[in-house]
Amino acid sequence: MAQAFLSNRVVTPHGTQPAALLVEAGRIRAICRASELPADTILHDCGNDAILPGLVDTHVHINQPGRTEWEGFRTATRAAAAGGFTTLVDMPLNCLPETTTVAALEAKREAARGECFVDWAPWGGVVADNQQHLLPLARAGVLGYKCFLIYPGCDGFTMVDQRQLEAALPHIAESGLPLLVHAELAGPIDRATQSLQSQSADWRKYATYLASRPDEAELDAIHLMIRLCRQYRFRLHIVHLSTALALQELQSARAEGLPITVETCPHYLHFAAEQIPDGATLLKCAPPIRSRENQQALWQGLRNGIIDMIVTDHSPCPPPMKCQDTGRFDLAWGGIASLPVALSIIYTECTHRGFTLNHLARWMSSAPAALASLSHRAGSLSEGREANFTIFDTVAEFTVTADKLHYRCPISAYMGETLRGVVKATYLRGEPVYREGVIAATPIGHEIKL
């Protein structure tokens, strides 16, 4: 039986319009006027609630297998469904084994089987010594690769130096898949940290942590990656851009025709260094949250199209690892979890800046889908596509509390904040996986394969 979802605001690639989303056999049969619906259609009138394409998050740390006590497929995809996401792409580190070989990829697939409330896909990893595994990983179904130019915080996923990276790049270029780069170089960070230690700096102060990861570390790394992109002609993606000082060079490189895309994250667009209290280790991430002036420049980068997308970098951990008892930023795990609240965070900020639902859908759905080569499957509401969408009340507000988080360890940098915009329901292939605060009983998500 066909069903139709009526709304005054259906967000399509052609703009936001009053329409009916006609869904049959898990797909969008038509986007049409209500008067054009078949007579026997089951109607769901959403009124003025917006119907958005299911969100796509290409930067998520699910951590299973091996560290399911941090986060797992079941809990991460529950949180995603509650946040309006219908597709996640999982990072290759913090799990055990790390996704740097086909065997490790198969272990991840086995862990995910039957556990997912939304769809998922894997990134592969580029580490110091796995160049011979990169093309096999591509053939086995990873959507791209992730690497670190600095120690990533876990010993098993090694950083790559320039020599190792250049050994990998011909394989990456041959695959045609993107390379996602954590763009910080160790030199500026090591020098800054040594200087702070010589001054006996107080690591409870956010200013100390911020000074330990200067803009220069990002700028030098991005400069290096642009040069290598020019030389090897691979698809380069800069993850979690935090410094706006890189925007001009990135814009120039793209004007040159280099295949570069850029993401930033909700925490860089919502928080500013000036408002972070000392000891507030829930707000530690790397690269760090920078100044309010920098934040405004990141928003301008989105407006100008230099930054393509907003993704969460959902990186949870067990509460003791955030060192809230000591408040020491040097010892705390760096990561901010935001899957269930990211849409509301960004919508709240958009309301202050004149951005529309179409901006939001591009940044959080169609652009991430394009990065992962999933545009034929996800990222927009179009006839013939799978019926993956979210119903979003843009008027309602809510306060972030533990019961709204849904991921494994319900701590949050956003706890207690009042946000505008509430996800009322999330649909995967026409079936509700989240509705009115309740997660579906049965997980129906699966791995997306190209």
pLDDT in tens, 75-122: 999 999 999 999 999 999 999 999 999 999 999 999 999 999 999 999
Please give, one letter per residue, the 3-state secondary structure of 179-224.
EEEECCCHHHHHHHHHHHHHCCCCCCCHHHHHHHCCHHHHHHHHHH
Residue 347 domain flag? yes
Cα–Cα distance measured from residue 97 to residue 158, given in angstroms and rounded to the nearest whole number: 13
Asked if pLDDT for residue 9 goes beyond 90, the answer is yes
Q: What tokens were used for 394?
A: 């843009």
Domain holding 125: CATH number?
Answer: 3.20.20.140
What local confidence, expressed as pLDDT, does residue 155 receive?
A: 87
Q: What is the pLDDT of residue 352?
A: 94
Q: 109 and 35 in one domain?
A: no
* Whether residue 339 is found in the same domain as residue 363: yes
Q: In the prediction, which pLDDT does 154 show? A: 86
Phi, psi angle pair for 401, to nearest 5°? -130, 165
pLDDT in tens, 207-252: 999 999 999 999 999 999 999 999 999 999 999 999 999 999 999 9
Do 61 and 187 lie in one domain? The reply is: yes
Q: Are 78 and 117 in contact (CB under 8 A)?
A: yes
pLDDT at position 359: 98
Distance, in Å, from the CA atom of 445 to the CA atom of 107, rounded to the nearest integer, reads: 18
State the Cα angle at 61 between 56 and 67, rounded to 5°: 145
Is residue 391 assigned to a domain? no
Give the per-residue pLDDT at 202. Answer: 97
Nearest Cα to Cα of residue 428 among 450, 449, 408, 443: 443
Q: How many CA atoms lie within 13 A of 286 on its CB side?
A: 24
The verdict on residue 161 lying in a domain is: yes
| Residue 446: predicted pLDDT | 97
Distance separating alpha carbons of residues 15 and 385, to the nearest angstrom = 17
pTM of this structure:
0.97
Residue 450 inside a domain? The answer is no
Give CA angle at 424 (423, 427), nearest 5°: 90
Rg of the chain, C-alpha, whole Å: 21
Taking the alpha carbons of 37, 429, 345, 313 in that order, is the dihedral positive or negative? Answer: negative
Confirm whether 91 is domain-assigned: yes
- Structural domain count, the chain: 2
The rounded distance, in Å, linking the Cα atoms of 309 and 395 is 24
Residue-range definition of the domain harbouring residue 15: 3-45
pLDDT of residue 381 exceeding 90, the answer is: yes
Residues 37 and 58 grouped into a single domain: no
Q: Which residue in the block uniquely carries the two structure tokens 């110091």?
A: 128
Do 30 and 58 share a domain, yes or no?
no
Pair (67, 176) in one structural domain: yes
Last residue in a domain, options 317, 346, 381? 381
Instruction: Examine the domain organization and report whether 22 and 93 are in the same domain.
Output: no
Mean per-residue pLDDT, 50-57: 98
Boundary residue ending a domain (347, 381, 415)? 381
Q: Are residues 161 and 306 in the same domain?
A: yes
